[in-house]
Structure 1
Amino acid sequence: MTGSRRLGTLLVCCGLAVLPWILALAAFLPSTVRVSNWSTAWVGLDALEALGLVTSGCLLLRRDARGSLTAAATAALLLVDVWVDVTTSAGGWERVEAVAMGLGAELPLAAVCAVLAVRSLPRRPAEVVPRYHSGPALPPGVPRITACRRLTSESTRTAGVRPRDAREPR
């Protein structure tokens, strides 16, 4: 088993192992609790969101592909902010304010960040399917590449990637 397959298996197992913990939390946690560092938690979360938005914007302006990473993380932080804000609000006008902030600011920003994350992913050259590999069924009208070809350093430079098989010949 390769390293990435082992890591993938480990992550799936860890995710499944959390499920009993979630059930235990749902059953045994009190419905209300007094928190001593409430303002610190919210200031920290909002500071991380601001840092993520600024960093994603700067990387987007520079057309840097790493912006997809910061945009994805920022989208996740914004979703967590909405979730925690709405679920911990006291009700009444506080709940209305939390929902309004979520719908009016945080969810739209999270959507923008998610779209930015997907659109700014680095583009890879078309996958080459070797002659001996039948591969998955392709939709009608999509040609199958039947011969392997070595990518030149020029084609990888224009695509912005450098796959392992595109190294300069020795």
Structure 2
Amino acid sequence: MVAPEGRHASGPRPARRPAALPSSPRRNQAMFSEPFTEQRRHTRLPLPPYFPAGSFHLETGEGPARRRYSYLRAWDVSASGIGLELPSPLEPGQAVTVRYTSREERLALAGEVVWCDRQGRPGGRPGLGRGAYRSYRVGVRFRPEAAEGSARLFLAVQAGLEPGAAIVS
């Protein structure tokens, strides 16, 4: 039997190559560092999309260059850092202040951006028109001098989670 060009008449088809993943510094590090080792030193608490126990805010820059982001989605928190979602990107190495407010706590923690990944779809969100809505996940490492405040943040968030919430080490 003669098969059309590019097809196999019998036998297994050749394996297809997987589609390439979008590139990001963290993904490249994970894919190309041998062997990959976990770099976390502290337990990480994942947070639900709606966290009613408190609110997260972030400030960058000073004076006229100052930018404030309020009521941010926090993805996770540990004693050494936090993962946040922002409407615009930040540069790794950029100094920031993370603020947490609740009934019991008002904390301001100095930190620096360690990574920033673009999220969302190029076509925007369904139902919101064709605008290219994107968000950015940002990893912030707290500065060593913020150790007391970051420990208080971790405990406040832990207390605000429902009993039995998953803890990721």
- Structure number with greater CO (CA < 8 Å, separation at least 6) is 2
Could you say which structure has the higher helix fraction?
Answer: 1
TM-score by length of 1: 0.23
Could you say which structure has the higher strand fraction?
Answer: 2
TM-score by length of 2: 0.23
